[in-house]
Amino acid sequence: MNIQDLLRPTIKALKPYSSARDEFQGATDNMVFLDANENPYNNGVNRYPDPQQGDLKKIISKIKGIATKNILLGNGSDEVLDLLFRAFCEPNIDNIITLPPTYGMYSVLANINAIGINTVQLDANFQPQISKILELADTQSKILFLCSPNNPTGNSFTTASIEALLNGFKGIVVIDEAYIDFSEQKSWITRLEEFPNLIVTQTLSKAYGMAGIRLGICYASTAIISVLNTIKPPYNVNTLTQNKAIELLTDKDLAPQQIQTILQERTVLIKELETIRFVSKTYHSDANFVLAKVDNATMRYNQLIEKGIVIRNRTTQPGCENTLRFTVGTVQENKILIDTLKSIS
Ligand SMILES: *Cc1c(COP(=O)(O)O)cnc(C)c1O
């Protein structure tokens, strides 16, 4: 498969904007910078940020075991996903495939970019229906979005089904691994070389506790990363975000310890939910949330709001009738949740 054949014609022909910081590299601290029309007085943010986020990428590269040349960073996964649409999907011509119930941003971004949406609902076990997906795909189907672990169901797709889709689908396969750090499944980033059409996205918003700084990560072949680099806004990850991410990721034990506690609490939460009279089922979770089936999701959702607890009502999602999605909170928050569920039971 040749990635060049999948790109939009305008993107293939694109000459990227070259910023001052792109044209001069090899900066050292004692140089005089009169190239970017910045205010020269230092306040910590008077200079433009590093457009390639070199220091931050090095840390992520080390944590994840992937070369920096296979990494692109964005203003949240949402920016990364939007870049993928702009690289591969021609407005009013191309389409994507999504597998509901899943993350809502794929179809929102498709609509914003005037891209068609084809859907194949997950099966009763929330796994992809391989042959239906491959039959539905046509020559204009440019991206297949796989969210694994999936939001809002919490499960991972089987290795065999993802492999079958990577081999059978003739476009880009995006695996959204926003929740991978809560999962026992291995990340697909180790298999980028095997599948030239594979793109993996991750984020610092969930396990790493940095939803507020907006930092999304894209892992792909160097061929794909260099295309995305030509279309991303030059300074898309700001200085405050880069500095905060470096600061928190440098504390190597912080995220792993929090993840450990969240996983223990997930087990407790599932056990407790199963004792609640109106909960008929909980679903296996590889993420930091639990989906549960109840008698009347909208009624239970409103009862919890009245008690000051906000969860997500997923009842309108295909295959998710009368389900609620509970994020795993702190030990104390989870206790408040369970006590409240018992009191309205
Ligand atoms: C939360 C979430 C993200 C994270 O998006 P950011 O823009 O990086 O905060 C991505 N994908 C899925 C499936 C999510 O649930």
pLDDT tens, residue by residue, 270-295: 999 999 999 999 999 999 999 999 99
Q: Which two tokens stand for residue 55?
A: 């220091």
User: Is the alpha carbon torsion for 98, 181, 300, 127 positive or negative?
Assistant: positive
Cβ-in-10-Å burial (0-12, 13-18, 19+) of 109 comes to buried
Find, among 162, 103, 170, 163, the residue nearest to 141 by Cα.
170
**Mean pLDDT to the nearest integer, 252-268:** 97
203 touches ligand 1 (CB under 6 Å): yes
Whole-number pLDDT of residue 17: 73
Whole-number pLDDT of residue 50: 95
Identical fold between 3-250 and 254-343: no
DSSP E strands in 16-167: the ranges are 71-74, 95-98, 116-119, 141-147
Q: Which amino acid is at 338?
A: I
> Do residues 231 and 87 make contact, with C-beta atoms less than 8 angstroms apart?
yes
205 touches ligand 1 (CB under 6 Å): yes
Query: Distance from the CA of 52 to the center of ligand 1, in angstroms?
Result: 22
Whole-number pLDDT of residue 19: 78
Q: Which two tokens stand for residue 317?
A: 């999602």
Q: Which two tokens stand for residue 252?
A: 């190597």
Whole-number pLDDT of residue 16: 73
> Do residues 162 and 148 make contact, with C-beta atoms less than 8 angstroms apart?
yes
Query: Distance from the CA of 77 to the center of ligand 1, in angstroms?
Result: 6
Query: Distance from the CA of 73 to the center of ligand 1, in angstroms?
Result: 14
Weakest-pLDDT range from 18-27, 191-200, 212-221: 18-27
29 pLDDT above the threshold of 80: no
What residue segments make up the domains of the chain, in order of their start?
Answer: 3-250, 254-343
Whole-number pLDDT of residue 117: 98
Q: What is the pTM of this model?
A: 0.96
Whole-number pLDDT of residue 26: 76
**What whole-number distance in Å separates Cα of residue 173 and Cα of residue 197?**
6
Q: Which of 183, 205, 217, 237 to mutate to test the pocket of ligand 1 (most atoms within 8 A of CB)?
A: 205
Q: Which two tokens stand for residue 7?
A: 């790109």
10 Å Cβ neighbour count for 59? 17
The proportion of the chain whose per-residue pLDDT surpasses 90, expressed as a percent, equals 94
Cβ-in-10-Å burial (0-12, 13-18, 19+) of 263 comes to middle
Rg (CA), the chain: 22
**What whole-number distance in Å separates Cα of residue 45 and Cα of residue 332?**
38
**What whole-number distance in Å separates Cα of residue 281 and Cα of residue 279?**
6
For residue 204, what is the DSSP state?
S
Cis peptide before 234 (omega within 30 of 0): no
pLDDT tens, residue by residue, 151-167: 999 999 999 999 999 99
79 touches ligand 1 (CB under 6 Å): no
CATH of 254-343, one of 3.30.70.270, 3.90.1150.10, 3.40.50.300, 3.30.930.10: 3.90.1150.10
3-250 carries CATH number 3.40.640.10: yes
pLDDT tens, residue by residue, 95-135: 999 999 999 999 999 999 999 999 999 999 999 999 999 99
163 touches ligand 1 (CB under 6 Å): no
Report the atom number in ligand 1 closest to the C-alpha of 79. Answer: 7
> pLDDT band at 1, cuts 50/70/90?
confident
**Average pLDDT, whole number, for the chain?**
96
Find, among 99, 109, 26, 85, the residue nearest to 218 by Cα.
85
Cα atoms found within 13 Å of the Cα of residue 117, Cβ hemisphere only? 17
**Mean pLDDT to the nearest integer, 253-276:** 97
Whole-number pLDDT of residue 113: 97
Find, among 190, 148, 101, the residue nearest to 286 by Cα.
148
183 pLDDT above the threshold of 90: yes
For residue 153, what is the DSSP state?
T
